[in-house]
A and B are shown apart, each in its own frame.
Chain A
Amino acid sequence: MSRSRRVTGDLLVDAVESDPDRSDDDSGAPARAMPDGRRSRVRWSPRFLLLLAVVALFVLGPIVVMVPMSFRVGRMGQEVVWGFDTWTSMLTDGSFWRVLKDTTVLAVTRQVIGIVIGVWVAWLIARTDLPGRKYFEYGCWVAVFLPSLTVTLGWIMVLDPANGLANRAVELLPFVDKGPFDIYSFWGITWVQLLASVIPLKVILLAPAIRNISASLEEASYASGATSFTTLRRIVIPLLMPTILVALVLGVIRSMESFEVELVLGTPAGIDVLATRIYRLGAQFPPDFSAATAIGIISLLLLVPAVIVQYRYSNKRSFATVTGHFKSNVLPLGRSKWAAFVGVLVLVLMMTVFPLVFVVLGTFMKLFGRFDAKDPWTTQHWTQILQSRAFTDALENTLVLATATAFGALVVCSVFAYIIVRTKTRGRSALDFMVWLPSMLPGMVIGLGYLTLFLIVPFFSGLLYGTVGALIVVLILSNATLTTQMIKTSFAQLGNELEEASRSSGAVWIYTFRRVVLPLIGPTLAVVVILAFSSAARATGPVALLATSDTAPLSILQLNQMADNNLARASVVGVFLVLLTAGVAVVANVIGNRVRGRGMRS
């Protein structure tokens, strides 16, 4: 804070100044300073209480019904006996602590590396004259949509210690007997995760936030003699800190949930993480939900402090950067432009073109990934998928589910974010905390929680259970954390003065929202729609527990192909998921940018 001021002078004051109005505490206690120095108590709004109760039912409900599961002794379906057996055996098992350590070290390592690279790439894309920056951003989108298992298989082909192309290439060098790369290792897992999800997701989250930083702040920094690096470190990063924290916490949550890459690459190396352990507990006959839930609770408890730190930090001061002084300029990189271009190009190629080529080629191979097979090419996987009725039904279901989820999440989470950031409503911190919860329990555990909740509440049981509506509700909630946090950070960057100016000109709330707020947060909303659509289209955990043959989407079709070990046919379905999401991404980006352009002009 103080460093930023030294560099930029008075220009920063209106952007990063502490805001006493926002210093109210989480308890909803005193919020507003009165002229005589007394503080008024903000009252509970009945409408907000109703909203909070509904959110609590959907968010706390599945957790409340699942927590007792960890104290059940014996197999599911047998007579209920309560006890601490699961907890005792888990906490006294030495391997559990090793797994916990591996999980933490892997998550922290990839987040630290990911945030450094992510901020740098996002800044280059969003703020500078980096050639091809628009395409690099699209590249990050594509990277996020690619199926992680297929990407992993692609990297195995390159970095396998015995047959990997990279190792073979190195072995051609004189005096090198054995290639140095081993994909089945800690760094192999970290490498694949960084390229497959951590870095592209960070870029996607940070780029819109960086665009919302007024260029005048950076210009002032340069005018004071600061270099690009100093400007990034002292101006951009402090202003981005709430978004960075959100990206970090979301990244850690995703790291804790991720299991496919760890399962394939970690098993031979003896590396186990909490998510792979939960996966095994769920995959066994019968599934051990007591132990899976206990591990899920540990995972949740580990994440709660991170969420609280993020919340406290973000609420200490205002980070409004889109004010009446807003200026959107492209900063020239100068001599370093082409070096930066090559760096980002190589990174994006490794994140997108390499795995994408591998995925598409794989769909035309008799045996996925085996170029050395006799007569390896075929189109039979495509014809089999395209001719099956299961595919057309699943495609239709996916379009309905993903579209409804994307727009449902947009509306619901916009309301959440607006209440949390733009109002002084008492209890809004409870809402803020609750929207983190659906993503903090593993998908399998929360999925069973929803299943149970929908069964025991008569209203849900009668009207919702077994319908596509149940899937949409669950998918909206699954997306609520990411979606709300993204919209929140966007709202937090908007200065109040823009809305106040509109209101003082006589505009009603809806007009102000449509003509002032919406254009400014348009690109973020576009990102939200795309992410929610993509996530809903690819979701498996909770969907598998609630879908029927009438409602099963493409992700379940893909799961069935994987169950047959048919990665080629699974990849055909994966290609359709990528195409679907990429189509939505293009449309949403175009609309988002048009809306923003109109807003900036006005």
Chain B
Amino acid sequence: MLLVGAAVLTLVLGACSSGPEQPAQAASGWEAIKAAADKEGKLVISVHAGAGFEEWGRLIQDKFPNWNISVTSIGPSESVPRILSEQQNGRYLWDLIIGPNSAVHNGLAPAGALADARPILADLPDEVRRDEDWHGGFEMFGEPGQGTSFLNQINMTGGVYVNTKLAPEITKADDLLKPEYRGKIVAEDLRQPAGATQIVAALFSAYGQEYVQKLVQQDIKLVANKQVALEWLADGRAVAAIGPTIDIVDDYKKLGLGDGIERRNEIGMFGLAQSVNILKNPPHPNATRVFLAYFLSQEGQDLWAKVSRADASSRRKDVPRHNDYATDYTTITDKTLVQGSDREGDLLDRTLEITSKMR
């Protein structure tokens, strides 16, 4: 009976599919766009999970008091399937998604869930779009061919941490392969594409597949998160750690813990793209444009760099560095690996092919 019920239900559900929504239209001319935006009076934004992103959302609502701005702070494992499911069923409910670009780059962009940002950005006032105000010029996209994922910041992150009291001689990538360090390296779980795997992907990029294969044969101890990896490094269970980030190490050291822990910038540093993305058929196209004009201005980027996360920054040259971890954009070159962009290619997938078999 249950099977019959399930079959009937499938047919009923299949017959109940709703038709696609008609996309909303943008006005032409900046003043008309602003008037239309006020008329729309609403904006729906998805940001990455994190208290800073949540706080940023509240401040944005203060900036646009007459609009209803919904800023939902959730992880990519929720936002990506949600947006894709909605779009597949003809529902276009989100205007923008802002945050780390990896999930967008690997999830939304290949599915065609994003709008080409170029014509939308072209509607913005000139003072926002001046190339000379932005490191690398105004237009920098995660997927240049599609014009999606406008990169507003690149975090220089990664690196391997070493307990210099125990192994001061680890200074370059090859040192990690020495037999005396077998079983003495700890990493945040490398079987999923988290920060530690991105560091190994950077090592793959710099030293090739063979290096990564040798590295995983070093009996690397996997732990659930970067904090535990740091603890193991500090208490001497490991001499090197893959995964801890500069902000948590810094907090740790400020409390008098982790004496002797140093980052080796020469091993596994990479750029991590952060982007603002316009979803396909945004329901509030005019409000989206007016918001972008603010968000990409000096004031908007400054607020983002101050609030969104511990290592936030902006490609805008007139936004000061608000924290010690903010990227120095002058160090980024054309050869810098930027994960979450077309420079990454299938690097992460190829890395995971090796690391996902670890136990």
**Among A65, A163, A280, A563: residue with most chain B CB under 10 A:** A563
Q: Are the CB atoms of A263 and B224 closer together than 8 Å?
A: yes
Within 8 A of A (CB), among B98-116: 102-103, 105-108, 110-113
Q: Are the CB atoms of A77 and B54 closer together than 8 Å?
A: no
Q: Are the CB atoms of B50 and A560 closer together than 8 Å?
A: yes
B137 CB, min distance to chain A CBs, angstroms? 27
Within 8 A of A (CB), among B215-240: 221-228, 235-237
> Is the C-beta of A586 less than 8 angstroms from some C-beta in chain B?
no
Chain B residues whose C-beta falls within 8 Å of the C-beta of A456 in the assembled complex: 13, 16-18, 89
User: How distant is the Cα of A599 from the Cα of B112 in the complex, in angstroms?
Assistant: 63
**Among B54, B111, B112: residue with most chain A CB under 10 A:** B54
Q: Are the CB atoms of B255 and A57 closer together than 8 Å?
A: no
Q: Residues 279-291 of chain B: 1 if any A CB is under 8 Å from the residue's CB, otherwise 0?
A: 0000000000000
B4 CB, min distance to chain A CBs, angstroms? 10
Closest to B255 in A: A373
* A contacts with B, residue count (CB < 8 A): 75
Q: Residues 126-155 of chain B: 1 if any A CB is under 8 Å from the residue's CB, otherwise 0?
A: 000000000000000000000000000000
Within 8 A of B (CB), among A535-551: 544-545, 547-550
Between-chain CB contacts (< 8 Å), 24 pairs: A56-B6, A65-B13, A76-B84, A77-B110, A77-B113, A163-B235, A267-B189, A267-B224, A289-B81, A367-B251, A367-B252, A370-B255, A370-B257, A373-B256, A376-B255, A451-B81, A455-B89, A461-B18, A461-B89, A544-B74, A545-B78, A547-B72, A560-B50, A564-B51
A187 CB, min distance to chain B CBs, angstroms? 18
Q: Are the CB atoms of A548 and B70 closer together than 8 Å?
A: yes
Chain B residues whose C-beta falls within 8 Å of the C-beta of A433 in the assembled complex: 2
Q: Which of B13, B48, B102, B255 is in CB contact (< 8 Å) with A374?
A: B255
Additional A-B contact list (18), CB under 8 Å, known A287-B107, A456-B89: A77-B84, A77-B111, A267-B223, A268-B222, A285-B107, A286-B106, A370-B255, A374-B255, A376-B255, A388-B58, A389-B58, A430-B2, A457-B13, A466-B93, A547-B74, A557-B54, A564-B51, A565-B226
> Is the C-beta of A50 less than 8 angstroms from some C-beta in chain B?
no
> Is the C-beta of B268 less than 8 angstroms from some C-beta in chain A?
no
User: How distant is the Cα of A280 from the Cα of B10 in the complex, in angstroms?
Assistant: 29
Q: Which of A75, A458, A465 is in CB contact (< 8 Å) with B16?
A: A458
Within 8 A of B (CB), among A52-73: 56-57, 60-61, 63-65
A212 CB, min distance to chain B CBs, angstroms? 32
Chain A residues whose C-beta falls within 8 Å of the C-beta of B58 in the assembled complex: 388-390
User: How distant is the Cα of A375 from the Cα of B58 in the complex, in angstroms?
Assistant: 32
Q: Which of B53, B85, B235 is in CB contact (< 8 Å) with A448?
A: B85
Closest to A465 in B: B91
Chain A residues whose C-beta falls within 8 Å of the C-beta of B256 in the assembled complex: 373-374
> Is the C-beta of A561 less than 8 angstroms from some C-beta in chain B?
yes
Q: Which of A75, A162, A451 is in CB contact (< 8 Å) with B110?
A: A75
Q: Are the CB atoms of A452 and B85 closer together than 8 Å?
A: yes
Chain B residues whose C-beta falls within 8 Å of the C-beta of A564 in the assembled complex: 50-52, 309
Q: Residues 157-199 of chain B: 1 if any A CB is under 8 Å from the residue's CB, otherwise 0?
A: 0000000000000000000000000000000010111100000
Chain A residues whose C-beta falls within 8 Å of the C-beta of B65 in the assembled complex: none
> Is the C-beta of B241 less than 8 angstroms from some C-beta in chain A?
no
Q: Are the CB atoms of B50 and A563 closer together than 8 Å?
A: yes
Q: Are the CB atoms of A264 and B70 closer together than 8 Å?
A: no
Chain B residues whose C-beta falls within 8 Å of the C-beta of A283 in the assembled complex: 75, 77, 192, 194
> Is the C-beta of B271 less than 8 angstroms from some C-beta in chain A?
no
Within 8 A of A (CB), among B36-78: 48-55, 57-58, 70-78
User: How distant is the Cα of A163 from the Cα of B236 in the complex, in angstroms?
Assistant: 11
> Is the C-beta of A270 less than 8 angstroms from some C-beta in chain B?
yes
> Is the C-beta of A569 less than 8 angstroms from some C-beta in chain B?
yes
User: How distant is the Cα of A390 from the Cα of B51 in the complex, in angstroms?
Assistant: 9
> Is the C-beta of B118 less than 8 angstroms from some C-beta in chain A?
no
User: How distant is the Cα of A95 from the Cα of B357 in the complex, in angstroms?
Assistant: 9
Within 8 A of B (CB), among A123-173: 162-163
User: How distant is the Cα of A507 from the Cα of B6 in the complex, in angstroms?
Assistant: 41
> Is the C-beta of B359 less than 8 angstroms from some C-beta in chain A?
yes
Q: Are the CB atoms of A60 and B6 closer together than 8 Å?
A: yes
Within 8 A of B (CB), among A451-507: 451-453, 455-458, 461-462, 465-466
Q: Are the CB atoms of B257 and A78 closer together than 8 Å?
A: no
Q: Are the CB atoms of A565 and B221 closer together than 8 Å?
A: no
Chain B residues whose C-beta falls within 8 Å of the C-beta of A544 in the assembled complex: 74-75, 78
> Is the C-beta of B80 less than 8 angstroms from some C-beta in chain A?
yes
Q: Are the CB atoms of B5 and A162 closer together than 8 Å?
A: no
User: How distant is the Cα of A486 from the Cα of B192 in the complex, in angstroms?
Assistant: 38
User: How distant is the Cα of A559 from the Cα of B72 in the complex, in angstroms?
Assistant: 13
Binding site secondary structure of chain A: helix
Within 8 A of B (CB), among A423-456: 427, 430, 433-434, 444, 448, 451-453, 455-456
> Is the C-beta of B82 less than 8 angstroms from some C-beta in chain A?
yes
Q: Which of B16, B88, B225, B236 is in CB contact (< 8 Å) with A565?
A: B225
Chain B residues whose C-beta falls within 8 Å of the C-beta of A65 in the assembled complex: 13
> Is the C-beta of B354 less than 8 angstroms from some C-beta in chain A?
no
Q: Are the CB atoms of A427 and B1 closer together than 8 Å?
A: yes
> Is the C-beta of B24 less than 8 angstroms from some C-beta in chain A?
no
User: How distant is the Cα of A512 from the Cα of B212 in the complex, in angstroms?
Assistant: 72
Known: A287-B80, A564-B52. A549 touches B70 (CB 8 A): yes
What is the number of contacts between chain A and chain B, taking CB atoms within 8 Å?
Answer: 195
**What is the size category of the interface that chain B forms with chain A?**
35 or more
User: How distant is the Cα of A366 from the Cα of B55 in the complex, in angstroms?
Assistant: 20
> Is the C-beta of A2 less than 8 angstroms from some C-beta in chain B?
no
Q: Are the CB atoms of B51 and A561 closer together than 8 Å?
A: yes
Q: Are the CB atoms of B192 and A77 closer together than 8 Å?
A: no
Q: Which of B77, B93, B237 is in CB contact (< 8 Å) with A287?
A: B77
User: How distant is the Cα of A272 from the Cα of B358 in the complex, in angstroms?
Assistant: 11
User: How distant is the Cα of A99 from the Cα of B284 in the complex, in angstroms?
Assistant: 47
> Is the C-beta of B248 less than 8 angstroms from some C-beta in chain A?
yes
User: How distant is the Cα of A557 from the Cα of B221 in the complex, in angstroms?
Assistant: 31
Q: Are the CB atoms of A566 and B81 closer together than 8 Å?
A: no
Known: A60-B5, A78-B111, A374-B255. A280 touches B191 (CB 8 A): yes
> Is the C-beta of B35 less than 8 angstroms from some C-beta in chain A?
no
User: How distant is the Cα of A280 from the Cα of B86 in the complex, in angstroms?
Assistant: 23
Closest to A566 in B: B51
Within 8 A of B (CB), among A169-185: none
> Is the C-beta of B9 less than 8 angstroms from some C-beta in chain A?
yes
Q: Are the CB atoms of B77 and A76 closer together than 8 Å?
A: no
> Is the C-beta of A552 less than 8 angstroms from some C-beta in chain B?
yes
B345 CB, min distance to chain A CBs, angstroms? 15
B233 CB, min distance to chain A CBs, angstroms? 12
> Is the C-beta of A30 less than 8 angstroms from some C-beta in chain B?
no
Q: Which of A163, A373, A430, A565 is in CB contact (< 8 Å) with B257?
A: A373
Chain A residues whose C-beta falls within 8 Å of the C-beta of B357 in the assembled complex: 95
Known: A60-B6, A548-B70, A548-B72. A455 touches B86 (CB 8 A): yes
Chain B residues whose C-beta falls within 8 Å of the C-beta of A56 in the assembled complex: 5-6, 9
User: How distant is the Cα of A287 from the Cα of B193 in the complex, in angstroms?
Assistant: 10
Q: Are the CB atoms of A565 and B227 closer together than 8 Å?
A: yes
Q: Are the CB atoms of A556 and B74 closer together than 8 Å?
A: yes
Q: Are the CB atoms of A457 and B16 closer together than 8 Å?
A: yes
Closest to A270 in B: B359
Q: Are the CB atoms of A448 and B81 closer together than 8 Å?
A: yes
> Is the C-beta of A284 less than 8 angstroms from some C-beta in chain B?
yes
Within 8 A of B (CB), among A282-328: 282-287, 289
A287 CB, min distance to chain B CBs, angstroms? 5
Chain A residues whose C-beta falls within 8 Å of the C-beta of B251 in the assembled complex: 366-367
> Is the C-beta of A36 less than 8 angstroms from some C-beta in chain B?
no
Q: Are the CB atoms of A367 and B257 closer together than 8 Å?
A: yes
**Among A78, A282, A283, A456: residue with most chain B CB under 10 A:** A456
User: How distant is the Cα of A310 from the Cα of B240 in the complex, in angstroms?
Assistant: 51
Chain A residues whose C-beta falls within 8 Å of the C-beta of B89 in the assembled complex: 452, 455-456, 461
Closest to B248 in A: A565
User: How distant is the Cα of A388 from the Cα of B55 in the complex, in angstroms?
Assistant: 8
Chain A residues whose C-beta falls within 8 Å of the C-beta of B248 in the assembled complex: 565
Closest to A67 in B: B6
B83 CB, min distance to chain A CBs, angstroms? 9
